[in-house]
Amino acid sequence: MTRVLIVGGVAGGATAAARLRRLNENLEIVVFERGSAVSFANCGLPYHISGVIPKRSNLLLQSKEGFWERYRVEVRLRNEVTAINREAKSIQVRDLEKGVDYEERYDYLLLSPGTCPRMPECEPGAEELVHPLRTLEDMDAIIAAITDGQAQHVVVMGGGYVALEAAENLAEAGVKTTLVQRSEKLLPPFDPEMLAPLYSELGSNGVHMLLETPIVRISRQGDGLCLERKNGKLIECDLLIAGIGVEPASKLAEAAGLAIGKRGGIVVDEHMQTSDPFIFAVGDAVEINEFVTQTPAQIALAGPANRQARIAADNICGIPSVYTGTQGSCIIKVFGLTAAATGINESTAKSLGLSYDKVYFYGGNHASYYPGAEDMAIKVLFEVPSGRILGAQLLGKDGTDKRADIFAVAIRAQMTAEDLTRLELCYAPHYSSAKDPVNVAGLMITNLLLGRVAQYHWHDLDDLPLDGSVTLLDVRTTREFVNGAAEGFIHLPVDELRERLGELDKSKPIYLYCYSGLRSYVAARILSQNGFTVSHLCGGYRFYQQAQIALL
């Protein structure tokens, strides 16, 4: 009987085990998991801290007993695989409960070890009050600390998804919460100018945020901690949650001589096969290709891990199956705000020297005349000149997830902006507009590529010349203009433009803006058809102000 051993459970290992059994009833399948649960919802851990998920048992997706009863898969909990002998096709295992070591042979080995949380350096004694949030046991320790009143002020260190979700749920639980991030922004998949709504949402819900705040010393102070900032200022707290990132748990594979990538992940081919034909690897520990650019990447997400597990299981069972890359589609709820991204961001596009451009705009989640309409801030990157969609970032409320998913499908299908204009999406006033924001993105990009309009961006506005060599035009209403305008811009409302063309000098380029970019687009069309050279501010003065707030 063919024997398949699986190292690690959760999204990768547990999914692979179930898939293997559905494909082949004659396999012997054994899962080795060093933790206390073979399959649990680690994405749900923060929400049990706040009580949004009321029962701990709700996080347990499958038990050791359940795996055996339904799939005849043997699960060995609290058993850690410590070595791989590739020549003998065997593994060394440590039973953590009994304290004994033993050996098991395999025909195929599947590695799903996941990641290891990065932990900050601490002085002696301080580490007792510093916790990651990766396992059920981590969650239990945090809940115990805030339940018994030990932790009344918690600092969350980091700026990724785990850190933000931890901060949100601690605040929801009534705990004084400070979020500390060493870099200038949160959420790495997002470009910095997009994040002002997120910062506002955190602050308005009681999370104190400190960006560009490296912590250089963590020491014990009585029953709590003292965090020393790089500028010498101190932060006192009762507990520290480390959300400063993860590293691929690839040491076992590396020690066995398997190929390891530059980012520390296990190198696999499109079949999820390692450099050893009898060993496969899936999940957060593997190095894969980023879908848009086809460059090596390390992307830790549950969805890709699940798909990789199915593909590895297929290939072990002789079914040709390939993994085509990860595009990094991700989403997070932060109190009442949703932030979602898919594909690459602008910093990636720049670093790879891609030929690209971008559009910013605000799209309504449903028809503006229907009660409760809210705007989403949207940024879309596209390839020049093809118009292929490269990435999208969205921040909003209801409906943000839907548009992000449509962009994700568009990227996977390698659709262009023109393709977006042709999408026939569901419409009723409660859910969308007749021209959905996804369609709008396609129309905006198509207009640019066809030369119907030229644009400049928020980061160009402050560099426009004020020496009279160009005409700077604000086409908003008088009320908007008197409430604040960019330096050097003269006021000429768009609805008066046709009658006042004679006031403008055709020998000078015109740079104009409105509040959101719609009226300035209309103005640009009027002017360009009357012989003027004109460029309008993409996203309008509204986005310019948002970007300034985000970068303060």
Q: What is the pLDDT of residues 437-447, one digit of tens each?
A: 999 999 999 99
Task: Give which of 504, 499, 460, 495 is closest to 476, Cα–Cα.
Answer: 495
- Strand bridging mode 337-343 / 330-334: antiparallel
Task: Give which of 7, 62, 61, 60 is closest to 29, Cα–Cα.
Answer: 7
Angle at 291 between CA 290 and CA 293, to 5 degrees: 75
pLDDT tens-place string over residues 368-408: 999 999 999 999 999 999 999 999 999 999 999 999 999 99
C-beta separation of 329 from 189 below 8 A: no
Q: What is the pLDDT of residue 299?
A: 86
Average of per-residue pLDDT values in the chain: 95
Rounded Cα–Cα distance for residues 344 and 493 (Å):
37
Q: What is the pLDDT of residue 300?
A: 85
In this prediction, residue 37 has a pLDDT band, given cuts at 50, 70 and 90, of: confident
In this prediction, residue 332 has a pLDDT band, given cuts at 50, 70 and 90, of: very high
- pLDDT > 80? residue 552: no
Q: What is the pLDDT of residue 150?
A: 84
Rounded to two decimals, what is the model's pTM?
0.94
Q: Write the CB contacts of 168 (distance below 8 Å, at least 6 apart in sequence).
A: 46, 50, 202, 205, 207, 333, 334, 335
Task: Give which of 316, 318, 329, 328 is closest to 13, Cα–Cα.
Answer: 316
- Alpha helices by DSSP H, listed for 246-373, are 251-255, 302-316, 346-351
Here the tokens at position 419 are 């393709």
Q: What is the pLDDT of residue 519?
A: 97
Q: What is the pLDDT of residue 314?
A: 97
- Strand bridging mode 60-62 / 39-40: antiparallel
Rounded Cα–Cα distance for residues 351 and 34 (Å):
39
pLDDT tens-place string over residues 274-288: 999 999 999 999 999
Q: In the sheet where 28-33 sits, what is the strand order?
A: 74-77, 28-33, 3-7, 108-111, 279-281
pLDDT tens-place string over residues 125-161: 999 999 999 999 999 999 999 988 889 999 999 999 9
Q: What is the pLDDT of residue 318?
A: 96
Q: Percentage of the chain surpassing pLDDT 70?
A: 100
- pLDDT > 80? residue 367: yes
Q: What positions carry a catalytic annotation?
A: 43
CB atoms within 10 A of CB 275: 17
pLDDT tens-place string over residues 303-313: 899 999 999 99
Dihedral, 161, 163, 165, 169 alpha carbons, nearest 10: 180
Here the tokens at position 281 are 């690897």
